[in-house]
Amino acid sequence: MIGRSSQLPIIARAGGHGRRTAVVEAQGTFTYNDLLDASSRVAAALLAGRLDLHEERVAFLVTPGFPWVAVQWGIWRAGGVAVPLPLNSTGPELQYFIDDTGASALVLDAQAAPVLAPIAAARGIRALFYEQLPTFQAAELADVNIININSERRAMILYTSGTTSRPKGVVTTHANIAAQIMSLVEAWEWSADDSIVLGLPLHHVHGIINVASCALWSGATCQMLPRFDANAVWDCIAGGSVTLFMAVPTVYVKLIAAWDKASPERRACLSQACARLRLMVSGSAALPVSTLKRWKEISGHTLLERYGMTEIGMALSNPLRGERVPGSVGTPLPSVEVQLAGEDGEAVAPGTLGEIEVRGPSVFLEYWGQPEATRAAFHDGWFRTGDTAVMENENGVYRIFGRTNIDILKTGGHKVSALEIEDALREHPAVADCAVVGVPDPEWGERVAAAVVLKEGLKEALNDGDVLDLPSLRTWAKELLAAHKVPSRLLVLDALPRNAMGKVMKPSVAALFQSKGGGDSAA
Ligand code: AMP
């Protein structure tokens, strides 16, 4: 039964989707009615006789699957603020999130219990075990449905990647979340006939909003994997029912590697299965053009690249129909306003570098408990993303140059984009992956420093230096890049340091160059 909580549109819509399949996962297949039932039980347990949690924060650590959604919806239906915790976090990191949000309750599953139960006990916080949810009378469950949840209330706190400082809690309201979902549902034409496989972590906007929430808003099916596994994703695609796929660039790299390792028969079968999908999306980090090209060869799909951020949901997207320009992130999504601001804060002309600023209903409310940081993040009502881009004159599409303070290097008076140099270096026959950073230099301001990972097989066969040394890389790169963009520092690594979302942690790369004078250096 849906009562006045129908003011939460995702819950109200679920009533309409009723017996359709909402979630497919290892434990079985679950309908929208199952989700409504399980989430009302979570809500009743959290409320424990109260009428409304009044935005109390409830942190939860539950393996991706049906229970994860039931808990998120249950917290919302009880009037709480959902704080999804990252699965792979250490004890101290979890303590930080729990203390920072001042969570009044934790919901956990059996797998999370060993690490979370002691944290809850030490703080005297109520811990609710999903597997041991109490049983309720129909009347108690009905109480869940009389809570009036205004769309301006806080709904969720997600911690940002924190590649530079301690993670900040990004607070979104129910209205923000609905706006983020509706924008994507419209742009990418989600429908109840869609089915998506989710292998992304569920503490980040990509998995939570773009995949799970858009699917469940639309009456579609979400096939949820407990964690990313390239062969498991391929198996889902080969299963034939998947219509959509969305992932970060590193996931596509792993899928390509798994495809390369498969037998010729399986390769043919996987590639054929891709033809049944209607859309494949990449985002959350720059998509290397080399990955886009290789994926096209394997799957036949030109990946749709989009740009977004925890604070704003998605802002820019290549078109569902129409030309997808490699290396670009397209144009503003429905209901999202985008402008580029120069160093003086004024909007810049097309063709000029500027900081991306975003305005609209999908932009977050605040950084949790940090009014100063919140104020500093806005400029005349526009959210300052900290990303630099250029809008091309001729077609209005945006190209991302990277994080203003990290990826825009200033060398010998030139501003250069680390992302552009990385894309060029990935064309080198020995380079599997790379990250470019600026390292301080008295003469140049910053030097262009490249950390590279060599292609498998090359490393074992030869000494690194035989495969790739700085002089040979420079000679090669000068064919593709202007002289001031050619790296003058080189470090060969076994792997790039990445966070849980697969994003390269540039400050850690820069630190490697700083420590022990890292790598080869050119005069
Ligand atoms: P997060 O809040 O963890 O999603 O990180 C958002 C950041 O990821 C943005 O501020 C960008 O720096 C980066 N990002 C997201 N999408 C793209 C993209 N398509 N190309 C380049 N960078 C991106």
CATH code, domain with 49: 3.40.50.980
Give 66-87 pLDDT, tens digit per residue.
999 999 999 999 999 999 999 9
Residues 435 and 494 in one domain: yes
Query: How far, in Å, is the centroid of ligand 1 from the Cα of 522?
Result: 31
Domain presence at residue 377: no
Q: Do both 394 and 429 map to the same domain?
A: no
- Clarify whether residues 29 and 63 are in a common domain: yes
Distance CA 122, CA 114 (A): 13
Indicate if 394 and 516 belong to the same structural domain: no
> What number is the average pLDDT over the span 331-347?
95
Please give the residue that has the higher pLDDT: either 103 or 457.
103
Are residues 475 and 397 located together in one domain of the fold? no
- Contact 309 CB / ligand 1 (< 6 Å): yes
Residue 332 C-alpha to ligand 1 middle, in angstroms?
15
Query: Which segments within 164-261 are labelled E, that is strand?
Result: 169-173, 195-198, 221-224, 244-247
How many Å apart are CA 93 and CA 95, to the nearest integer?
Answer: 5
Over 60: is that where the pLDDT of 4 sits?
no
Q: In the block, which residue shows the tokens 């030139």? A: 414
Q: Is the pLDDT of residue 1 over 50?
A: no
Q: According to the model, what pLDDT value does residue 375 have?
A: 96
Q: From atom 5 of ligand 1, which residue's Cα is the shortest distance away?
A: 309
* Residue carrying the six token digits 């209901």: 335
Q: What is the pLDDT of residue 182?
A: 98
- The pLDDT value recorded for residue 109 is 96
Question: For ligand 1, what atom is nearest to the CA of residue 206?
Answer: 4
| Separation of alpha carbons 117 and 132, rounded Å | 14
What pLDDT is stored for residue 413 in this prediction? Answer: 81
What pLDDT score was predicted for residue 6?
A: 45
Q: Whose CA is nearest to atom 15 of ligand 1?
A: 284
Same domain for 395 and 467?
no
Which residues make beta-bridge pairs with 402? 388
Q: Are strands 313-317 and 279-282 parallel, antiparallel or unpaired?
A: unpaired
- What are 119-139's pLDDT values in tens digits? 999 999 999 999 998 888 887
Residue 171 within a domain: no
Note the Cα 506 to chain centre separation in Å. 17
- Secondary structure letter of residue 213 according to DSSP: I
Does 193 fall in a domain? Answer: no
Per-residue pLDDT of 269-304, as tens digits, reads: 999 999 999 999 999 999 999 999 999 999 999 999
- For the chain, the straight-line distance linking the first and the last C-alpha, in angstroms and rounded, comes to 73
Residue/partner pairs of 464-469 with CB below 8 Å, 24 or more apart: 464/492, 467/430, 468/428, 468/430, 468/431, 468/492, 469/520
Q: HEC string of 449-475?
A: EEEEEECCCHHHHCCHHHHCCHHHHHH
Do 432 and 393 form a contact (C-beta atoms < 8 A)? no
In a domain, 191, yes or no: no
Q: Reduced to 3 states, what is the DSSP secondary structure of residue 410?
A: strand
Does some domain include residue 364?
no
Tell me, what DSSP letter sits at residue 6? G
Per-residue pLDDT of 351-396, as tens digits, reads 999 999 999 999 999 999 999 999 999 999 999 999 999 999 888 9
Decide whether any atom of ligand 1 lies within 6 Å of the 45 Cβ. Answer: no
261 and 343 in a single domain? The answer is yes
Q: Which of 398, 400, 417, 436 to probe ligand 1 with, by most ligand atoms within 8 A of CB?
A: 400
Nearest CA to ligand 1 atom 21: 286
For residue 443, what pLDDT is reported? Answer: 81
Name residue, tokens 């703080």: 123
Domain membership of residue 382 (yes or no) is no
Number of structural domains found in the chain: 3
pTM: 0.90
d(CA 52, CA 56) in angstroms, rounded, equals: 9
Does 517 map to a domain? yes
In this structure, are 255 and 392 located in the same domain?
yes
**128 and 214 housed in the same domain:** no
Element (H or E) spanning 492, and its range? strand 489-493
* Domain range for 121: 9-149
Return the CATH number at 214.
3.40.50.12780
Residue 36 confidence (pLDDT): 95
Q: What is the CATH number of the domain that holds 417?
A: 3.30.300.30
Closest CA to 82 of 13, 176, 12: 176
- Do 399 and 414 lie in one domain? The reply is no
Whether 60 shows a pLDDT value over 70: the answer reads yes
CA 385 to ligand 1: nearest atom:
10
Domain boundary among 403, 435, 465: 403
More confident residue, 511 or 6: 511
Residue 328 shares a structural domain with residue 230 = yes
Q: Is the pLDDT of residue 3 over 50?
A: no
Task: Count Cβ atoms below 10 Å from residue 261 Cβ, excluding itself.
Answer: 11
Residue 86 within any structural domain of the chain: yes
Question: Hey, is 328 helix, strand or coil?
Answer: coil
> Measuring from atom 4 of ligand 1, which residue has the nearest CA?
309
Residue whose Cα lies nearest atom 19 of ligand 1: it is 307
Last residue of a domain, one of 149, 172, 196: 149
User: Do 19 and 88 share a domain, yes or no?
Assistant: yes
